[in-house]
Structure 1
Amino acid sequence: MAVGLGPMSTLHPVPGFELGIASAGIKRPGRKDIVVMRCAEGSSVAGVFTTNAFCAAPVILARKRFLGPVRYLLTNTGNANAGTGESGLAAATRTCARLAELAGVPENAVLPYSTGVIGEPLPVEKIEAALPAALANLSVDNWADAAAGIMTTDTLPKGASRQFEHDGVTITVTGISKGAGMIKPNMATMLGYIATDAKVAQAVLQDLLRDAANKSFNRITIDGDTSTNDCCMLVATGQAALPEITAASGALFAALKQAVLEVSMELAQAIVRDGEGATKFVTVQVNGGATHQECLDVGYAVSHSPLIKTALFASDPNWGRILAAVGRAGVPDLDVSLIDVYLDDVAIASRGGRAASYTEDQGAKVMAQEEITIRIDLGRGTCSETIWTTDLSHEYVKINAEYRT
Structure 2
Amino acid sequence: MDQKVKDHQVIIKICCVIASLVLWLYIFNVENPMREIHIVVPVQILNKDLVAKSDLVPIQEDNLTVTLTIRGSASDTYSIKPSDFKLVSDLNSYAVKKGENKIPVEIKSSPSNIRITNNDNLWVKITLDDLKRKTVPVKVIFDGNTKSGFYAFKPTIKEKEISGPKEAVERVKYVAARYNIKDASKDINANIQLQPSDSSGVIVKNITVNPSSLKVTIPVKKIKTVSVNVKSGIQQNNQGNIKDLVPIEDKIDIAGEEDLISNINSLDTEYVDLNKIYGKDTIEVKLAVPKGVILVNSSDTVKLKVNLNNKNIQKQLSLNIQTINDNSKYSVNLDTNKVDVVVSGEENVINNLKAEDIKCSVDLSSIAEGENSIPLNISLPDGVTKVSQSISSVKITAKKKVLEGKNVN
Q: Give TM-score scaled by structure 2 length.
A: 0.19
> More helix per residue: 1 or 2?
1
Question: Which is greater in Rg?
Answer: 2
For CA contacts below 8 A with separation 6 or more, give which structure has more relative contact order: 1
Point out the structure with the larger strand share: 2
